[in-house]
Amino acid sequence: MVVDTSKFKKSLSYERNPNKIYANSFSTVRREGKIERFDLSIQPLVTRIIHACGMIEVADRLSFSENIGRKGFEALSNGSTVICDCEMVASGIIRRNLPAENDVVVTINDLLVPEKAKLIKNTRSAAAVELWEPFIKDSVVAIGNAPTALFHLLELIDLGFPRPACILGFPVGFVGAAESKAELANDSRDCEYITLRGRRGGSAMAAAAVNALAAGLPEEIV
């Protein structure tokens, strides 16, 4: 369908160029968030996370390991699997920017999950984590929904579960979100990590973190 814009009673004034929208958005984030205070390897992560939620103030609530930016990109470049706790995180990943055509895995809808949740007496999100074992060694894990997924991942690592290369911890909510992220920040189990302290988080932030590790900020180049 081709829209005849001449029939509009009034043409609204707004930026229509996608490249300029991205560039101006990231420029605003850099300026208002004072992104230059962060190490260069972290700046794309902080910028994309803020851009995903529209909240400059989250820059002051991020907690991360020193090498998350470098090690995350290295893992993806080496073909590591990206594991997501929910479909919304997976949907937000820009697949064309993944450096090695990386697999993206989500197990929450696996038919084994409901019964496994009953068996372990935990949520379906936690049960889905137990199905990550074939993929998780040296993977990039992006959690943007359930605190129980992050809690149970840490529990399983303590029990000898293979370690991912990176944990991008952005569960959201009023029960367990702040606590699960505090646990990750306090003891990342020798995994590189980034997380947002407090209740805020979500799939958009988790996906943004993956996109930042994969390709940085190519949209800044207009």
Q: State the Cα–Cα distance between residues 176 and 185, nearest whole angstrom.
A: 14
DSSP letter at 99 equals T
152 tagged catalytic: no
* Bridge partners, residue 84, by sequence: 106, 142
Secondary structure in 3-state letters for 41-53: CCHHHHHHHHHHH
Q: Can you list the positions of beta strands (E) in 62-172? A: 62-64, 82-84, 104-106, 140-143, 166-169
Instruction: Evaluate whether 213 touches 140 at the Cβ level (below 8 Å).
Output: yes
What residue type is assigned to position 64 of the chain?
F
Which among 33, 38, 50, 51 is annotated as catalytic? Answer: 51
Amino acid at 98: L
Q: Cα torsion for 191, 95, 102, 98, to the nearest 10°?
A: -70
Could you tell me which of 41, 121, 40 has the C-alpha nearest to residue 74? 41
Q: How far apart are the first and last CA of the chain?
A: 29
Catalytically active residues, by annotation: 51
